[in-house]
Structure 1
């Protein structure tokens, strides 16, 4: 459900989110705003996934940074027409499932 919601949010905003992200990265101050948004997604992923993982909080947070990055890349690919929304969501779901396993 997390993967589907994340990717669907990008589908709802089409290319707008990526254009805003690029614009925000144009200055240091705005880049910090964009990073704050990404950090919020990381915190959301950690809070949702923590009950389902035996990983330490530090390891889980690092993996969630990677998962959010993967979500961004997949949503960008979807917006460019390289995959469908369902394909992007399924791929992110597989990464999430494997990413919160106890393997360190």
Structure 2
């Protein structure tokens, strides 16, 4: 990913924010999350520090914005895959697990690195729960047509499936499983968890 145009280009506020987030992602990929500071981001993006502070306020604010941006891209990829989902549980579980794991593989570990940099922060706990709820909702929507479980129990099973997906994606990023192996494991968990009609 190349670094977007510098401040010499006149950008709207939304375009500038996106440019800063794109540059932040490059920093995390190339140098690691520890190097992502507001000052370093300003230097790499070719803007003044006040511009970066105006958009993110603090380093945790920047990390949270980046975490949400990466996650939003992942969730959208899963949604798109669901739109094309076949109508059999086996195929739906495979497609959903493949899309979920591919999103993590595509981030080159950036999502996990930013999440680790935020670990322990009070703000991160709330953000993490908000993002997990999005995935739980996606899983419920995808798996509900095949489930014999009461709605509340299906929801809780999907909470567990998303947790398993996070653990499997972390194992994949650490090199303990391939993307294919992680997706196969998640799909198997899905098929075994929902109770089929």
Answer whether TM exceeds 0.5 for this pair: yes
Tell me if the contact between 1:24 and 1:33 (Cα under 8 Å) persists in the aligned partners.
no
Which digits, 9 at most, give the CA deviation of each residue in 1:46-89, with x for residues without a partner? 11111111111100010001100000000100111001100000
Aligned partner of 2:30 in structure 1 is none
- The answer to whether the 8 Å contact 1:15/1:79 transfers is yes
Alignment of 1:8 with 2:102, yes or no, is yes
Give the TM-score, by structure 2 length. Answer: 0.50
By relative contact order (CA 8 Å, sep 6+), the higher-ranking structure is 1
Note if 1:52 corresponds to 2:146: yes
When the two structures are aligned, how many residues end up with a matched partner? 102
Shift in CA distance, 25/31, structure 1 to aligned 2, threshold 3 Å: farther
Unaligned runs of 5+ in 2: 1-94
Aligned counterpart, 1:43: 137
Correspondence list, 1:54-93, <5 A: 54-93=148-187
Match of 1:29 in 2: 123
After TM superposition, the score normalised by the length of structure 1 is 0.91
Q: Stretches of 4+ moved more than 6 A in 1?
A: none
Q: Name the structure 1 match of 2:195.
A: 101
Larger Rg: 2
